Structures are given as C-alpha cells and as structure tokens.
C-alpha cells in the first residue's frame, strides 16, 4: 500500500525527522486559508501515488495566499500519470542549498533492509543509477541489530563534507530506519533531503510504501488507505479477496496461485504479448470468485482476450468452469476467452466448457500462444 506524501510525513515527524509543517486542502479556498496561516512563501503539492510530480506541474511555489489558491485550482483535478489529484499539501517554501537522496528499502537478494543514499538528490534516483551509479552509496542493515550508530554516521559522511551536516544526517538516518521498521514499510524514501542556507538538514518530500502483509497488525496505518487514489480495479479485487495488479498490456490473465500467475505472465511475454494484469484467484473453490475476477478484468477496455490458466489441486476445476458460465450470464463479455484447466475434476470441467461451446486447451504453451495471437489480431502492433 502506498501512502501519500502528507501521510508519510506524519510518520516521519513521529520518528523525529525534521519535516516542515503543512496541511491538506481539497479546495482552492482551503489552500488559500492554509497559505495565509503559514504566511510567506508556500509550496502547493499534488497528493498522488507517484513521483515526478514536480516535472508534471504538480508542485508549485506561491508567494501569496491568492497565488496558492490559483495553483491549487490548477493542480486539483489535474491528471498525473493517469491519477487524478484530489488533495494538495500546502507547506512552507524552504530555502534550498543542496538536494540529496536517502532511502531504506527491502533488498530482496539479501532479504534484509538496505540504505541507499546519494548527494545527487531531487532527481529520479533511477536516472542517477543509470548515469552515475558510483554516486549512490548502498549499505546493508542486519535486522537483528538495526542501523548501528557508526553505520548511520557513514551514511552522513557519504552525503556531506561538513561535520555539522553529517551529524544531522546520521541522526535522520537512524530515525528513518525506526520509521521504516515501525510502519512495516517496504520503502521509506526522502527525495530531496535538503540543506538550508542556515545549515539545517530537512526532509521536504516523503514516500512510504507499506507491505500489505503488515497491515493487519498496524490498524492505525491501515487507516491511511485512500481507495479514491487507487486504481478502482485493485480496490474491487481486494474486497473480493483476489490478488490483482493492473498492468499495461492487453492479455487479461486469470490464474490460480501466485507462482503459476507469474509463470503465465512470463509465457505471455515469451510469445510476444503483454499481460493486462496479474490476477491470482487463490486456492479455494468458489465460482463467485471467478465471476468477480471476470468483472474486474473486463472492466479494463485495453483487454482484448481473457486467458484462464487453472491448475486444480484444492481448486476444483469444475467450480472454475461453472464460474465462467455464471459470469457469462451476468456480464456481457465481448472479447474471446481461452481456457486451460487441468487437475481436480478436469473431465467434468471440460464437459461443462465444451457444452457451452468453449475449446479447452491442455497445455500452457498452446493456450498462451492462442491468447497472444488473438490479442495481436485484435490490436495489431503499431495500430
């Protein structure tokens, strides 16, 4: 689950990190009012779950409350990378000397937290990683001991030459680590971490992603969920007990089991197609889940074909087949559906499907190739 900047900043403040104050507005008038309270230069910032808001025109400085109102009225409703801005954060404008980058994330290779810091902040860290990888300092943390004081200091030294700034940065790194662990985060990022002309180090942007599996024991963080800023399909899927992630392709995938779903997506790519989603309908036998899955997949206008790949263990393939037939009764599906199912009650399932006029495939290769062919025919490359 991604948090908004203002929510991530609340978490950072709670851990003691120096973060400028600020308030959220949903109307231009509110933004004006907050700017007046703050007084002087303010920044109006789009609250959406993506970076690069500055480049997209979603971060604007305002010298007067009236100007803050005008910026807010432009930014509210703005589309940034497909997301509609519904809230803005109004925060004091800081004098910036330097912009650095600092983050702690889960390193999947070491299965442990890792810091990444760079004196080249403010820009996309991916760009720094491509063009100047030596400018990024990485440091692994042993989760048994946490970030040790000398490690925090090393990170400070990697960022600044001035010992006063190094010490402030070291403290912020420890606080960032505490915030990361306590929130159950998979990522806690400050970009930019600024220095001011008066020699202070502060976080003026904040990004936190929470591991969904940590939410059940952190109800106060689960409350941060803002369904209005998630893709609608992801909310619907979560409520239906499905694991769904929207992707950019046109082959809608409906698979049981995360591993098989990944393998299916790999094979779609192998045959030259692009998956429209990751979807794991889970291990239980329940036609209703299939109906919900099909509703979610077909709501995406990019989908040109629906590919079922079901391995029946605990999942009964006849339940899946019945779910498909039920779904066709309930929703109008005007894209082809190709199905491969194998395992428990396969004969019954194949009979149900052939009675309904479906051709069923027995191997993954065949069915994926067929799905990619159909998608390509419906949306030829370059068309």
347: annotated active-site residue:
no
- For residue 69, the SS3 value is helix
Q: Quick one: which segment of 27-35, 50-58, 126-134, 219-227 binds ligand GDP (CB under 6 A)?
A: 50-58
- Would you count residue 96 as binding ligand GDP (CB under 6 A)? yes
Query: CB-hemisphere CA count at 13 Å for 1?
Result: 21
Instruction: Using CB under 6 A, pick the residue from 192, 249, 252, 257 that binds ligand GDP.
Output: 192
Q: Quick one: which segment of 43-51, 251-259, 305-313, 374-382 binds ligand GDP (CB under 6 A)?
A: 43-51
Contacted by 202, from Mn ion, ligand GDP, none: CB < 5 to 8 Å by type: none
Closer residue to Mn ion (CB): 168 or 191: 191
Q: How far, in Å, CA of 237 to CA of 289, rounded?
A: 10
| Min CB(71)–ligand GDP separation in Å | 12
- Would you count residue 97 as binding ligand GDP (CB under 6 A)? no
Q: Both tokens of residue 33? A: 């009012």
**Cis bond upstream, residue 172 (ω within 30):** no
| Min CB(44)–ligand GDP separation in Å | 10
| Min CB(166)–ligand GDP separation in Å | 22
> Among residues 272, 286, 296, 289, which one has the least CA distance to residue 379?
272
- For residue 334, the SS3 value is coil
Catalytic annotation, pick one of 101, 160, 224, 361:
101
| Min CB(191)–Mn ion separation in Å | 4
Total residues interacting with ligand GDP, rule: CB under 6 A? 16
Contacted by 253, from Mn ion, ligand GDP, none: CB < 5 to 8 Å by type: none
Buried b vs exposed e over 327-362: b needs ≥16 C-beta within 10 Å? beeeeebeebbbbbbbbbbbeebbebbeeeebebbe
DSSP 8-state assignment for residue 302? T
Closer residue to Mn ion (CB): 117 or 254: 117
Query: Which CA distances in Å does 34 have to 24, 47, 84, 95?
Result: 8, 16, 22, 19
Contacted by 204, from Mn ion, ligand GDP, none: CB < 5 to 8 Å by type: ligand GDP
Instruction: Using CB under 6 A, pick the residue from 22, 28, 51, 65 that binds ligand GDP.
Output: 51
Closer residue to ligand GDP (CB): 56 or 328: 56
Q: How far, in Å, CA of 237 to CA of 258, rounded?
A: 15
Q: Are 162 and 100 in contact (CB under 8 A)?
A: no
Q: How far, in Å, CA of 46 to CA of 72, rounded?
A: 8
Q: How far, in Å, CA of 29 to CA of 329, rounded?
A: 49
Closer residue to ligand GDP (CB): 53 or 369: 53
Contacted by 52, from ligand GDP, Mn ion, none: CB < 5 to 8 Å by type: ligand GDP
Q: Quick one: which segment of 46-54, 256-264, 319-327, 371-379 binds ligand GDP (CB under 6 A)?
A: 46-54
| Min CB(181)–ligand GDP separation in Å | 24
Find the residue with minimal CB distance to Mn ion: 205
Q: Are 239 and 339 in contact (CB under 8 A)?
A: no
Q: Quick one: which segment of 49-57, 172-180, 266-274, 307-315 binds ligand GDP (CB under 6 A)?
A: 49-57
232: annotated active-site residue:
no
| Min CB(69)–ligand GDP separation in Å | 18
- Would you count residue 210 as binding ligand GDP (CB under 6 A)? no
> Among residues 94, 109, 90, which one has the least CA distance to residue 198?
94
Q: How far, in Å, CA of 240 to CA of 252, rounded?
A: 17
Catalytic annotation, pick one of 5, 189, 234, 346:
189
Per-residue x/- track, 52-91, ligand GDP (CB under 6 A): xxx----x--------------------------------
> Among residues 213, 161, 192, 229, which one has the least CA distance to residue 95?
192
For residue 136, give the H/E element and its range. strand 136-140
The residues annotated as belonging to the active site are 101, 189
- List residues near ligand GDP by CB under 6 A: 43, 45, 51-54, 59, 93-94, 96, 99, 122, 191-192, 204-205
């Amino acid at each position: 689950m991604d948090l908004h900047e203002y929510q991530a900043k609340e978490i950072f403040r709670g851990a003691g990190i120096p973060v400028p104050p600020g308030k959220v507005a949903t109307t231009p008038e509110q933004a004006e009012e907050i700017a007046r309270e703050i007084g002087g230069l303010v920044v109006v910032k789009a609250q959406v779950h993506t970076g690069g808001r500055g480049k997209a025109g979603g971060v604007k400085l305002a010298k007067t409350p009236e100007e803050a109102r005008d910026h807010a009225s432009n930014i509210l409703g703005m589309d940034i990378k497909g997301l509609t801005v519904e809230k803005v954060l109004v925060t004091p404008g800081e004098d910036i000397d330097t912009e650095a980058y600092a983050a702690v994330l889960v390193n999947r290779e070491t299965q442990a937290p890792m810091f990444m810091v760079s004196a080249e902040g403010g820009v996309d860290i991916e760009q720094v990683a491509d063009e100047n990888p030596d400018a990024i300092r990485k440091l692994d943390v042993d989760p048994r001991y946490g970030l040790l004081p000398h490690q925090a200091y090393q990170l400070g030294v990697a960022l600044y030459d001035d010992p006063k700034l190094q010490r402030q940065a070291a403290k912020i790194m420890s606080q960032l680590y505490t915030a990361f662990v306590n929130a159950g985060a998979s990522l806690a990022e400050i970009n930019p971490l600024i220095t001011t002309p008066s020699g202070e180090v502060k976080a003026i942007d904040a990004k936190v992603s929470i591991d969904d599996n940590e939410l059940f024991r952190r109800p106060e963080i689960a409350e941060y969920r803002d369904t209005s800023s998630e893709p609608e399909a992801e909310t619907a899927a979560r409520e239906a007990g499905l694991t769904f992630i929207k992707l950019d392709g046109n082959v809608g995938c409906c698979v049981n089991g995360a591993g098989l779903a990944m393998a299916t997506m790999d094979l779609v790519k192998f045959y030259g197609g692009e998956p429209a989603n990751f979807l794991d309908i889970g291990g239980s036998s329940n036609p209703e889940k299939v109906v919900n899955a099909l509703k979610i997949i077909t709501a995406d206008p990019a989908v040109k074909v629906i590919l079922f790949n079901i391995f029946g263990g605990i999942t009964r393939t006849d339940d899946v087949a019945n779910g498909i037939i039920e779904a066709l009764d309930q929703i109008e599906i005007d894209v082809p559906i190709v199905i491969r199912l194998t395992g428990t009650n396969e004969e019954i399932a194949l009979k149900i499907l052939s009675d309904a006029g479906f051709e069923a495939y027995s191997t993954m290769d065949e069915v994926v190739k067929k799905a990619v062919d159909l998608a390509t025919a419906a949306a030829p490359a370059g068309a």
